[in-house]
Amino acid sequence: MTRLSVNINKFATIRNARGGNNPDVKKAAVDCQRFGAQGITVHPRPDERHITYDDVIGIREVVTTEYNIEGFPDERYIEIIKKVRPVQATLVPDPPDVLTSNAGWDTDKQASFLKEVISEIKKFASRVSVFSDTRKEMIEGAAKAGADRIELYTEPYAQRYHTDKENAVAPYVTAAEIARSLGLGINAGHDLDLHNLSYIRKSIPYLDEVSIGHALVCDALYYGLENTIQLYLRELIT
């Protein structure tokens, strides 16, 4: 079964727009799990424009499923991993000022760097996932660097899904087969939603996990959080 990890960054974005603690991101983590999510994802950025360092620490106390911390593996991120010791550390190649994760790693050019940081992070996290596009050499590079999983960057799939879903998903099916042959687990994330989620899950039946935040929170504004999580879970099993 493909697991649903809810990225709760957007709850923090709404809170930070007004200050105070409404919505309470710690409660959001508790509720997402109570409503069926099998994981909680956060992506603390250096400017703390959504999830803050204190959030990351506080949320650790209430996560009873899997805690996934995304980020660029600089010294600050590695210190967070050392302190929190999450189930999963997901490495993304974002510079500090980027709006959202929008590319996979160049695991060829960054081979030495990734190998070094993955070795260090594995001392404190149960597994390490590397954000990746669908190119064979990038997936092979993630395996060589010591990653346990890749997270397939799915924005190109989502953009093309409504006009040509078969060709949109094809590179991801091939990439997943390559990753599986290398012994890597397979996660996916970015712009997955209630429209395109089921198709990619059916196309990659051994997909381990999807991480979804923005679309899920937007849907929750209309359907309510509990109902929305159930809708997403349904897409992962039908």
What residues are labeled active site?
43, 70, 190
Residue 29 CA to residue 9 CA, distance in Å, equals 10
CB-based contacts of 174, cutoff 8 Å, min separation 6: 134, 136
The answer to whether 147 and 184 are in contact (CB under 8 A) is yes
What's the one-letter identity of residue 150?
I
Q: Give the residue among 190, 209, 6 at the shortest CA–CA distance from 94.
A: 190
CB-based contacts of 27, cutoff 8 Å, min separation 6: none
**Block residue for tokens 């149960």:** 126
How remote is the C-alpha of 11 from its chain's centroid? 16
Q: Give the residue among 125, 122, 153 at the shortest CA–CA distance from 139.
A: 153
